[in-house]
């Protein structure tokens, strides 16, 4: 008897989902029906959204269209927004209809977590998607251009809530561009102000003290005010109310960015799959225990090793995607697959503008231009993995010196 064609459905085209699709495209030679569904026509590097938000990276360069890198003979791409997961019926529901599967790979990404703080959803900008970053770009551009008419200093006061990677990279990118913005718009450089608020004692808590102090010094040299050990109580229009050492303070600014933390997808959170804040606990093979034909990658997965839960990163998501592609190839070809997922942490770099940064690469501290160069190398390595040298030449980050 002819074997029934297996249906593999990948929902979400981020770092993890795209890697599954491309891995199967390259390795699998059978006749399974492989489908990738994403709400956008394009993939974008979330690790570069801070550049898009400041306007130092164009939206055109940031977009990588799925149909340009997926072979329709091997992987079908469907643009649709998934609304509901029905794991007991082996199907998902989108705006465009129902999609059945034999194996489901969930890679629906993250959404900002407001932690129940009043005003976050109403009064802040988020760096959660390319469109959200472009909205922020327009806001900053308009505030500077219109200052000649408004004369309102609060329009040039920016508050960044969160001192992790996203918040610090955005803060630094903006701070390095302020001289240029003020010159172009004829604004006194003393007027713009950036305040960064964090709950931790120091910024970038994943790094050691040496790197943290270097990063803080660099930001302070750029004129950034860092408010550490501060708890955000409420956000109102044009201000953030914080508590620090038992005292309540009000920080004023007409542009407020929320980067204090993320959670998994709402679609996962509202599904019957057991999860915590939209994130599903998976086993050593990235499999959902309650529904063994469902695998999870990226921000929707809680993956642990040696009692440590890995923080969701692009690097982790990409490695998960590669692993799932390998596992599914073996499964579709009825081969044994005993390998478990093991995260190989190669390092992390936080950029401080285009020509500076701090980080750890293969367990060694890197700073300054070398860190900026390594950050670009990491981004280019991702592009190479999804589209080869052509993709790197078209979309890559080459310059580590500013062009101003």
Q: What are the pLDDT digits (tens) for 19-32?
A: 999 999 999 999 99
d(CA 140, CA 113): 23
Residue 351 CA: distances (Å) to CA of 123, 126, 285: 27, 19, 33
| 402 — pLDDT class (breaks 50, 70, 90) | low
Which residue among the candidates 98, 146, 169, 220 is catalytic per the annotation? 169
d(CA 173, CA 181): 12
DSSP assignment, residue 288?
A: B
Predicted pLDDT at 403: 53
Taking Cα atoms as reference points, which of 137, 170, 127 lies closest to residue 351?
170
Neighbouring CB atoms inside 10 A of 67's CB total: 11
| 248 — pLDDT class (breaks 50, 70, 90) | very high
Look at residue 307 and tell me whether its pLDDT is greater than 80: no
Predicted pLDDT at 305: 65
Look at residue 1 and tell me whether its pLDDT is greater than 80: no
Strands 255-258 and 157-161: parallel
Look at residue 370 and tell me whether its pLDDT is greater than 50: yes
Predicted pLDDT at 2: 44
Q: Which residue is listed with tokens 């599967």?
A: 101
DSSP secondary structure string for all residues of 148-176: HHH--GGGGEEEEE--SHHHHHHHHHHHH
Residue with the bigger pLDDT between 312 and 45: it is 45
> Taking the CA atoms of the chain, what radius of gyration do you get in angstroms?
22
CB-CB contact of 350 with 204 (8 Å)? yes
- Residues 72-110 have pLDDT tens digits of 999 999 999 999 999 999 999 999 999 999 999 999 999
Look up the pTM and report it: 0.94
Neighbouring CB atoms inside 10 A of 215's CB total: 26
CB-CB contact of 235 with 120 (8 Å)? yes
Task: Taking residues 315-322, report their average pLDDT.
Answer: 96
Q: What is the dihedral of CA 281, 285, 291, 294, to 10 degrees?
A: 100
Mapped onto helix, strand or coil, the DSSP state of residue 373 is: helix
Predicted pLDDT at 354: 85
d(CA 230, CA 244): 5
DSSP assignment, residue 310?
A: P
Q: Which two tokens stand for residue 101?
A: 């599967």
Task: Taking residues 316-338, report their average pLDDT.
Answer: 96
| 243 — pLDDT class (breaks 50, 70, 90) | very high
Beta bridge partners of 82: 94
Exposed, middle or buried: residue 325 (CB in 10 Å: 0-12, 13-18, 19+)? buried
Question: Looking at 67-81, 100-114, 361-375, which range is the least confident one?
Answer: 361-375
Exposed, middle or buried: residue 250 (CB in 10 Å: 0-12, 13-18, 19+)? exposed
Active-site residue 169, yes or no? Answer: yes
Distance of CA 379 to the CA centre of its chain: 13
d(CA 285, CA 277): 21
Task: Taking residues 112-124, report their average pLDDT.
Answer: 97
| 398 — pLDDT class (breaks 50, 70, 90) | confident
Average pLDDT for the chain: 94
Mapped onto helix, strand or coil, the DSSP state of residue 395 is: helix
d(CA 375, CA 396): 11
Predicted pLDDT at 285: 97
């Amino acid at each position: 008897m002819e074997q029934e064609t297996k249906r593999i459905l990948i929902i979400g085209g981020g770092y993890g989902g795209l890697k599954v699709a491309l891995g199967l495209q390259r390795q699998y030679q059978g006749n399974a029906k492989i489908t990738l569904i994403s709400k956008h026509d394009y993939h974008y590097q979330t690790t570069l959204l801070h550049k898009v938000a400041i306007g130092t990276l164009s939206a055109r360069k940031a977009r990588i269209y799925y149909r340009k890198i997926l072979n329709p003979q091997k992987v079908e791409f469907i643009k649709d927004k998934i609304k509901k997961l029905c794991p007991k019926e082996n199907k998902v529901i989108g705006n465009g209809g129902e999609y059945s599967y034999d194996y489901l790979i969930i890679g629906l990404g993250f959404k900002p977590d407001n932690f129940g703080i009043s005003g976050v959803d109403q009064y802040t900008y988020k760096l959660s998607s390319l469109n959200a970053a472009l909205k922020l770009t327009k806001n900053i551009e308009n505030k500077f251009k219109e200052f000649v008419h408004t004369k309102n200093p609060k329009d040039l006061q920016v508050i960044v809530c969160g001192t992790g990677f996203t918040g610090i990279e955005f803060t630094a990118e903006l701070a390095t561009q302020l001289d240029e913005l003020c010159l172009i718009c004829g604004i006194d450089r003393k007027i713009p102000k950036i305040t960064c608020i964090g709950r931790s004692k120091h910024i970038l808590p994943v790094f050691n003290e040496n790197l943290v102090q270097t990063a803080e010094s660099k930001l302070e040299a750029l004129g950034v005010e860092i408010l550490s050990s501060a708890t955000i109580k409420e956000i109102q229009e044009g201000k953030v109310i914080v508590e620090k050492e038992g005292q309540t303070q009000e920080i004023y600014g007409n542009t407020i960015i929320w980067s204090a933390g993320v959670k998994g997808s709402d679609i996962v959170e509202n599904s019957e799959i057991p999860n915590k804040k939209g994130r599903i606990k998976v086993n050593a093979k990235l499999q959902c225990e309650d529904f063994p034909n469902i695998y999870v990658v990226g921000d929707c997965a809680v993956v642990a090793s040696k009692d440590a839960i890995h923080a969701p990163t692009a690097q982790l998501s990409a490695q998960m995607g590669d692993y799932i592609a390998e596992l599914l190839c073996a499964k579709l070809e009825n081969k044994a697959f005993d390998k478990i997922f093991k995260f190989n942490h190669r390092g992390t770099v936080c950029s401080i503008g285009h020509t500076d940064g701090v980080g750890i690469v293969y367990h060694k501290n890197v700073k300054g231009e070398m860190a900026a160069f390594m950050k670009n190398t990491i981004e280019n390595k991702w592009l190479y993995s999804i589209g080869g040298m052509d993709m790197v030449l078209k979309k890559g980050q080459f310059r580590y010196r500013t062009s101003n």
